[in-house]
Amino acid sequence: MECPHLSASVCIAPDSAKFPHGSPSSWCCSVCRSNKSPWVCLTCSSVHCGSYRCDDFVVNDTKLGLVQKVREHLQNLENSAFTADRHRKRKFSENSSLNSKLLKVNGSTTAICATGLRNLGNTCFMNAILQSLSNIEQFCCYFKELPAVELRNGKTAGRRTYHTRSQGDSSVSLVEEFRKTLCALWQGSQTAFSPESLFYVVWKIMPNFRGYQQQDAHEFMRYLLDHLHLELQGGFNGVSGTAILQENSSLAASNKCCINGASTVVTAVFGGVLQNEVNCLICGTESRKFDPFLDLSLDIPSQFRSKRSKNQENGPVCSLRDCLRSFTDLEELDETELYMCHKCKKKQKSTKKFWIQKLPKVLCLHLKRFHWTAYLRNKVDTYVEFPLRGLDMKCYLLEPENSGPESCLYDLAAVVVHHGSGVGSGHYTAYAVHEGRWFHFNDSTVTLTDEDTVGKAKAYILFYVERQAKAGSNKL
């Protein structure tokens, strides 16, 4: 039953020190028994939650503003603790951060300008994707050059705002928080940045990622790109995303891939087009369909799934080319995927083949490492060999003769790696190249690494950038 006093409720902070009579982690919703995002009634102490199932229990403030006063008090406590801790660590951080961001290159000392991302509670999936995207120059520069937008004015300016259902989502901007995060990552002024504001917006507009469970990095990347695309279409800071895109002539001229409406920087950079060709095996009727894509999901061929390391001796090593060939090879559809032939006027056996009609500027390749069984989602831990430069995509094109000699060559920009045995557990890190040097991004820790180490990684997501300058390379 709904608590009659819930017009005066407050979110339970995760810090148990603020609630000495019991750890909030042990409190759960009296309706659905969830301990995620619990809310407690200020009058009768009933506990409910802010999940989708119990959203009716999170309601507006009282006429006297009691909830807001409690929230401001908790925020002041948090800010005071943070300020005291910052003063205590200032002297140490001034020395240690400088030393930790120095490295020797060819005998001389230089500074590491890369910044890590703090883990906010199983948010390594988000950190790995953000670090990868921050090292895709065309994409990152576009957002960093966007004008800043002021979301809050007056008394709430510069202070975290707590929202209720009645306020809606108009006061948050994914584009703005994404822009601020990218700007912070390569300033070199701090060793780690906390993406709390961005994660808060993710919770607001992407309900699937609420809570602190481990999430799938590829799924998050797709949601992130889709929502950035939609928000840019709707306009940012009073200017449409399409109008901003037109200012960058190189992106606008190449963008022929539109997904869900007008083009944006998302489709200009990641957008490609597939041709799906289906042939009826009974009458020979051919059907062609063009599908836009932002990334390609590739199966790891079954014959390689037992080989877990590069140096394992039982059989050949699986390569990225094997995965691409499996994706584009002619395939006979099984009984569950019968094709509706318009000539035969019934479902028939058929074959299917993919061609790439248009390659994107940034080719994102997702290796399908997680597969559902009867009860579990298992991980395919096979090592897949991939090139760091010179990935040649010409043989997968629908019309390769119409492409230039180097327009099909790609160089690796970033790799996302999943460590562990399952999608709901483990850990994500990323490798990315910046100004010719490879870095390993492990949440708040950033270390310089080398090409050999990157090449041995068990890639989950690969980001390849179209080669611009002519240079010799080892093709795949």
CA 340 to chain centre: 36
CA 14 to chain centre: 25
Asked if 57 contacts 3 with a C-beta cutoff of 8 angstroms, the reply is yes
The answer to whether residue 124 is catalytic is yes
Angle at 186 between CA 181 and CA 189, to 5 degrees: 95
Asked if 338 contacts 348 with a C-beta cutoff of 8 angstroms, the reply is yes
The answer to whether residue 418 is catalytic is no
Asked if 196 contacts 179 with a C-beta cutoff of 8 angstroms, the reply is no
Q: Which residues contact 245 (CB under 8 A, 6 or more apart)?
A: 251, 252, 255, 263, 264, 265, 268
H or E stretch covering 185: helix 174-185
Asked if 415 contacts 461 with a C-beta cutoff of 8 angstroms, the reply is yes
Type of residue at 96: S
CA distance 35 to 202: 20
DSSP code at position 422: B
Type of residue at 358: K
The single residue of 124, 257, 318, 364 carrying the catalytic annotation is 124
Strand-pairing partners, residue 289, are: 276
Show the DSSP H helices in 276-337 as ranges.
Answer: 320-328
How many angstroms separate the Cα of 137 from the Cα of each of 318, 361, 413? 30, 11, 9
Cα-trace Rg, the chain: 25
Helix (H, G, I), strand (E, B) or coil at 137: helix
Strand-pairing partners, residue 362, are: 465
Structure tokens at 470: 């002519």
Name the nearest CA neighbour of 432 among 445, 414, 418. 414
Type of residue at 171: S
The single residue of 5, 371, 419, 427 carrying the catalytic annotation is 427
Structure tokens at 401: 């003769």
Q: Which residues contact 51 (CB under 8 A, 6 or more apart)?
A: 29, 32, 34, 36, 37, 210
**Catalytic residue ranges:** 124, 427
